[in-house]
Each structure stands twice: as structure tokens, then as C-alpha cells.
Amino acid sequence: MNIKIGEKIKQLRHRDGRKQEDLANALGVSPQAISRWEANGGYPDMELIPAIANYFNISIDELFGYSKDRGDKLKAILSKADKEIGENGDMTECVEMLRAAIEEFPSEPKLYMNLGLALDLLGWKKHGARSYTKDGSDYTYEDTEYNSQNVYWQEALRAYEKALTFDISAEERDVMTQRMVLYYAKMGYFDKATTLASKQNSLLMSREVLLSLANEGETRDKYQGEAIIDVMNALKTVVVNSVCTKISVFTKKEGVALMTELAHLYETVFSDGRCGVGHYHICELYLHAALYEARFGEGAEKALDHFKKGFEHKKIYESIRCTGEYQYSSPLVTKVTFPSENFPSLTKTFWKGWMEILPEDFKERIKADPNYSECFE
């Protein structure tokens, strides 16, 4: 029988960033013994097998390579979790499934990432978040006393923290870090949020910006295009959050102007109308503009115009998502392609969330137009 347990041990040790000396000390053997196993020059004593499996947080079956069925099971769990998280329905069963899966697969980082995301969504549905204003202040503040009681977010943070201890991709690490900073702050752990944020690269030292400087010709053009798209999307996130948290901006015409002018910037950069993931961001910008115009602006007509544009960009976005490789074609991004399957998903409750915050009279105007019937389904 061709048992390659030594190769498996070496693979697991590299996965976890452990030295031969670390494993040797944990097992009470010499580093030379570990080296001999990994070179297929011998096998561990049978009494050491449970300890080795426990050290790497795997089953004995996995240590011996009998993992096809388990691999298929893990793949099915992750696929189901991805689908349910994307649909953003009731996450209760998904959370229970992922908790049980972690008991069985304690060394699989994607389980912790998905558990964090599922708990993230469940926390919004079951507990939600609150903020408040202070007399004489221009800012909104997190109700950290209330938000910190969100047990789902507490567990989500623990799952994210665990995920970061594994060797995950840079993109996955960025997602986890962003979520952690957000919920640390919402729950009042501002020192933790600031410390974690301070450890990240600056915008000028980002992968996207540096890659655009590191090449020439068509390759440089491609990376410059990718940097433009990512920087614009980041700018949109920061501007929207800034407007939403400053009373003197979102209650005045400046709030609407900032949303619409940033949408116009997108439309200028993507001059041929092929905005890719930008359609999603333009949609949100126009919907924010509609909200502010309806609540604090000059009336429903302008708000309806903004809403119409947001609705149209959402329809375009839905038509291009999950249709294969997306090819941008406007001049500054003509060399950029991106798998449309990786564009952010739109939840089934997208319109419900917006309808809950729009003024009732404005919502009735929308409801009266049959073109917008899907917003109330």
C-alpha cells in the first residue's frame, strides 16, 4: 500500500506556516524524525497518529488521504452557503449548517469566512443597528450600547478573526478586514477598529496603483484601467458614507449634488455606457439622490427622475451579471476584463430595503407606475 503520510504532513505544515521543529516539539520527537517522514524515509509510530491529526485540526482519515468523500461534502456545504448568502434570505439554517461544518472541518478557512458573512446578515435581520444625533452636532453617532448587544455580530467578529489566522488570499483578507473594521466601530470597539485599519496599506501603496506603475504598454493600460475602476468604487463608498453621516450635507441640496455628480463621473469615464460593476454603484448613487431629494429637496419630480435612473442602471446590472467574461470598452478601461460572476450579487430584498426608507408619499408615486411593479414584489 502506497501511504504518503509524510507528504501530507509536509503539506499541512506548510499550510499552517509551521516549522519541522514546531511539530517535533509538539510530538516529543526529533526534527530529524519529521524530516525523515516528509522524505518518505519512514512512518510515524501508530500511537503518534492521533496527535498529528489533532495538531493539524484534521481527522485521521484526512491525514491518510482518505478525503474524497469529505472533500465532496465540504464543497457541497460551501456551494450551498455561497448561494444562500447571495440570496440574503433567512440565514438561520445556513448559520447552523456552517457551525456544524466547522466542527467537522476546523481547518477550512472558507467556512469561517462564510459563517461570518451569514452571521453578519442575520445580525441585521434579527437585531439591526441604531444610530442617533446630538443637539448642536452635525454628525450621526452609532448607538454602541445597543449595537454591542448584537450576539450575531459578536460571533461574526470571532469567525472573521479566526479566518485571518489562515493562509487566505489577499482579496479574502481584504473582505474580512473591511467587515471587522465596520462592526468593531458599530459596536463601540473604536480602538480595535482603528488599530486594524492602521495596519493596512495606504491607497498609494495599494496593489492596484503599484501594478499600474510597474508595467508598460498594453499591460500598463490594463492595470491602469483596473486601478481606475477600483479607486472610483472606493471613492463612491467613502462619499456615500460621508454624506449619510453628516446632517448638514444630506439634508441640503449638497447631498443630492454629491450623489449625482459622482454618478456623472462614472458615466463620463464609462462614456460608451458599458459600466460593468459601475452600473451597481451608479444605481445606488441615484437612489440616494432620490431619497435625499424626496425628503429634503424641491419635490417629487426631481426625485422621480433620480429614481428612474437608478432603476435603469439596476436593470442593466442584472442583465450583465453572471454572463461570462465582461469586456469594458470605453477608452480608459478598454483593456480590462472581469468575470461577471464575481460582480456583487443583488439580494432578493434589495427593493424592500429602499422602500422602507423612502417617504410614504414618494413611495406611492412610484407604486402608481406599473414600470416599477417589481419594487413591491
Do 180 and 234 fall into the same domain? no
Is residue 186 over pLDDT 60?
Answer: yes
> Span 249-278, mean pLDDT?
96
Question: Mean pLDDT throughout 120-133?
Answer: 94
Q: Is residue 80 part of a domain?
A: no
Domain end point (choices 200, 228, 262): 200
Q: What is the DSSP string of 153-203?
A: HHHHHHHHHHHTTS---HHHHHHHHHHHHHHHHHTT-HHHHHHHHHTSPPG
Q: What is the pLDDT of residue 2?
A: 44
**Same-domain pairing of 131 and 195:** yes
**Cβ–Cβ contacts within 10 Å for residue 370, how many?**
6
Residues 352, 225 share a domain: yes
Task: Name the percent of the chain lying above pLDDT 90.
Answer: 73
Residue type at 142 in one-letter notation: E
Domain-located, residue 71: no
Rounded CA gap, 254 and 332, in Å? 29
pLDDT at residue 256, as a whole number: 96
Residue 59 pLDDT = 77
Instruction: Determine, yes or no, domain membership for 75.
Output: no
Its pTM stands at 0.74
Cα angle value 209/210/213 (rounded, 5°) = 95
Burial 27-38 (b: 16+ CB within 10 A, else e): bebeeebbebbb
CB-CB contact of 140 with 245 (8 Å): yes
Residues 303 and 285 in one domain: yes
Number of structural domains the chain divides into = 3
Does some domain include residue 144?
yes
Q: pLDDT confidence of 104, banded at 50, 70, 90?
A: confident
How high is the pLDDT of residue 68?
A: 63
Q: What is the mean pLDDT of residues 238-261?
A: 95
Task: Write down which residue in 175, 200, 225 finishes a domain.
Answer: 200
| Residue 42, domain CATH | 1.10.260.40
Could you say which of 160, 175, 200 is where a domain stops? 200
CA 225 to chain centre: 22
Domain extent, residue 169, equals: 89-200
Rounded to an integer, what distance in angstroms lies between the CA atom of residue 212 and that of residue 334? 14
